[in-house]
């Protein structure tokens, strides 16, 4: 019975991610050139669509799974034994400025472990999905991390934000460059981590990222054969944490580099 319910949660989460993604796409394409956004903090964007999409997801999940808790980036919520962790738009800065690089992220966490992770990028029409123990897919096709094991042959995305003094992120950036890594920074941690799961890049790391940004995508990497740090600690659910996801061969390099 438990497996049947988890299967149902997985299917419903995928459907909700697509519905939410279509709403995000509609709002993105209809946007005028006016700068319709506010700031929650330094370079921390907020648009009306963030709240609209989170309300849609919360309503759909509550209707299907009324006993589950809900915790979203914009509205907060309760963190119970079974809880949905949601980022309505990851990559809000790009969404706000008209750059088509963002996704919706939905994770289901049971007794502190992520069991379901679903991301949808409505601009590329890519649905990334994973259920613990059942592999990871993009649009239903299995995905795997790359086989890159040498840092000087790797593509590593480094995220950063005003939540961490830039000097610390700069030290990581300097170390990565010194070791010959190809370094990227795109602006959506969720998509950056999902790209590791499908081998588009070989690692994603950030000194601090929120649970709603990364929880779903980290499960994708685990299920795609990658290594992930102990990201989703009890504190992380509400406080965030450092995240490192990578190919197994890059683990040693990145654990050392991030020890800043
Ligand atoms: C973003 C993260 C990114 C981080 C940004 C921001 P948002 O999430 O995905 O990794 O560096 O500061 O937190 O705000 O677009 O949902």
Global pTM reads 0.95
Question: What is the CA(190)–ligand 1 centre distance, in A?
Answer: 8
Does ligand 1 have an atom closer than 6 angstroms to the CB of 92?
yes
Q: What is the number of structural domains in the chain?
A: 2
| 186 and 108 within one domain | no
pLDDT at 22: 98
Assess whether 173 and 247 both reside in one domain. Answer: yes
Between the alpha carbon of residue 58 and those of residues 25, 118, 209, 244, the distances in Å are: 19, 15, 22, 29
Ligand 1 atom closest to residue 159's alpha carbon, by position in its atom list: 11
pLDDT recorded at residue 250: 98
CA distance 239 to 157: 22
Domain that holds residue 76: 2-142
Residue 198 dihedral angles phi and psi, to the nearest 5°: -110, 10
Please report the pLDDT score of residue 34 as a whole number: 67
213 is in an annotated binding site: yes
In the residue annotation, 67 being an active-site residue is answered as no
235 in catalytic set: no
Residues 134 and 229 in one domain: no
11 shares a domain with 99 = yes
Same domain, 91 and 109: yes
Distance 138 CA to ligand 1 centre (A): 22
pLDDT at 40: 82
Q: Which of 50, 54, 87, 223 is catalytic?
A: 87
Residue 169: CB within 6 Å of ligand 1? no
Express each pLDDT in 79-88 by its tens digit.
889 999 999 9
The CATH number linked to 40 is 3.30.540.10
How many angstroms does the Cα of residue 73 sit away from the middle of ligand 1? 11
Q: Is 73 annotated as a binding residue?
A: yes
How much is the pLDDT for 151? 98
Question: Residue 109 forms beta bridges with which residues?
Answer: 83, 114
**For 11-29, b where at least 16 C-beta lie within 10 A, e where not — what string?**
ebbbebbebbbebbbebbe
Specify whether 202 is catalytic.
no
Whether the CB-CB separation of 216 and 117 falls below 8 Å is answered with yes
Asked if 188 and 231 sit in the same domain, the reply is yes
* Catalytic residue status for 78: no
d(CA 3, ligand 1 centre) in Å: 33
CA 204 – CA 181 distance, rounded (Å): 12
97 Rama class: left (phi>0) / alpha (psi -120 to 50) / beta: alpha
pLDDT less than 50: residues of the chain: none
What pLDDT does residue 38 have?
A: 79
């Amino acid at each position: 019975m438990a497996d049947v319910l988890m299967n149902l949660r997985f299917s419903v989460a995928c459907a909700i991610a697509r519905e939410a993604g279509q709403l995000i796409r509609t709002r993105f394409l209809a946007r005028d050139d006016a700068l319709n956004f506010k700031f929650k903090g330094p370079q921390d964007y907020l648009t009306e669509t963030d709240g609209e999409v989170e309300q849609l997801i919360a309503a759909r999940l509550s209707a299907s799974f009324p006993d589950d808790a809900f915790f979203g980036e914009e509205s907060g919520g309760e963190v119970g034994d079974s809880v949905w962790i949601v980022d309505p738009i990851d990559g809000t800065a790009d969404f706000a400025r008209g750059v088509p690089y963002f996704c919706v992220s939905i994770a289901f966490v049971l007794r502190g472990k992520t069991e379901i992770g679903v991301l949808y990028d409505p601009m590329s029409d890519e649905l990334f999905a994973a259920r613990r123990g059942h592999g990871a897919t993009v649009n239903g096709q299995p995905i795997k991390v790359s086989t890159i094991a040498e840092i000087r042959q790797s593509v590593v995305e480094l995220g950063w934000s005003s939540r961490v003094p830039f000097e610390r992120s700069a030290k990581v950036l300097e170390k990565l460059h010194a070791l010959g890594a190809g370094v990227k920074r795109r602006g959506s941690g969720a998509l950056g981590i999902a790209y590791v799961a499908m081998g588009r890049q070989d690692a994603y790391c950030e000194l601090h990222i929120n649970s709603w940004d990364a929880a779903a995508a980290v499960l994708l990497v685990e299920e795609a054969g990658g290594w992930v740090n102990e990201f989703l600690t009890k504190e992380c659910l509400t406080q965030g944490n450092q995240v490192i996801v990578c190919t197994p061969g890059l683990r040693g390099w990145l654990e050392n580099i991030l020890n800043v």
